Amino acid sequence: LRADQSVAGLVITMRDVTERRRLERELTHQPFHDSLTGLANRVLFADRLDHALARGARDGSVVGVLFIDLDDFKIVNDTLGHAVGDQLLIAVADRIAGALRADDTAARLGGDEFAALVENVQDPGAVEETATRILAALAEPILVDGQELQAVASIGITTTPEADTAAELLRQAD
């Protein structure tokens, strides 16, 4: 249009959609992630577990589920308060996620219960190694509001050689 002699000017309309895009991303993130820790929630974990089982059935790889429960977490909430308990849960979530590989999924199922999905491994021993890494990560004291807290966890482990459905894997790991 600039080369056209009859055009004397151009009108450009612009709109900043940054905030709208941020809200859209947040709205698609919320239904599948825990609001406190940012980890996958039970719905997303179940979906990823179903996909992992289908992939494992096709390629023969092992799928493992770790059920992680913090021991005596209620004492932290009762003696130090829920704000400290929340900070402890956030720190534990970060450590669990940090102990996993990029292919794995960490989730908070509710309260002080977490889960990890280990997929694309050929040996059930790799799932046990993941549990060992998580326990090692949680063994270090966690500093919350100037206090050193210890996150002691119990981990239940199961793999596809022991169970072949998502519900069965979760039940056995629990």
The pLDDT tens digits for 86-104 are: 999 999 999 999 999 999 9
What is the per-residue pLDDT across 59-70, written as a single tens digit (0 to 9) for each? 999 999 999 999
The three-state secondary structure class of 157 is: strand
Per-residue confidence (pLDDT) for residue 29, from 0 to 100: 63
Higher pLDDT, 112 or 23: 112
What is the per-residue pLDDT across 122-157, written as a single tens digit (0 to 9) for each? 989 999 999 999 999 999 999 988 889 988 999 999
Per-residue confidence (pLDDT) for residue 53, from 0 to 100: 95
What is the set of active-site residues? 112
Instruction: For the chain, give the percent of residues with pLDDT over 90.
Output: 71
Per-residue confidence (pLDDT) for residue 26, from 0 to 100: 77
Sign of the alpha-carbon dihedral angle for 81, 83, 87, 89: positive
Per-residue confidence (pLDDT) for residue 63, from 0 to 100: 95
Residue pair 70/112 in contact (Cβ under 8 Å)? The answer is yes
The three-state secondary structure class of 42 is: helix
Take residue 33 and report the two structure tokens written for it: 């992630």
Instruction: Report how far residue 91's alpha carbon sits from residue 148's, in angstroms, rounded to the nearest whole number.
Output: 12
Instruction: Report how far residue 10's alpha carbon sits from residue 16's, in angstroms, rounded to the nearest whole number.
Output: 20
Higher pLDDT, 95 or 19: 95
What is the per-residue pLDDT across 22-54, written as a single tens digit (0 to 9) for each? 888 777 767 788 999 999 999 999 999 999 999
pTM of the model: 0.82
Per-residue confidence (pLDDT) for residue 119, from 0 to 100: 94
Angle between helices 124-139 and 82-99 (to 10 degrees): 140
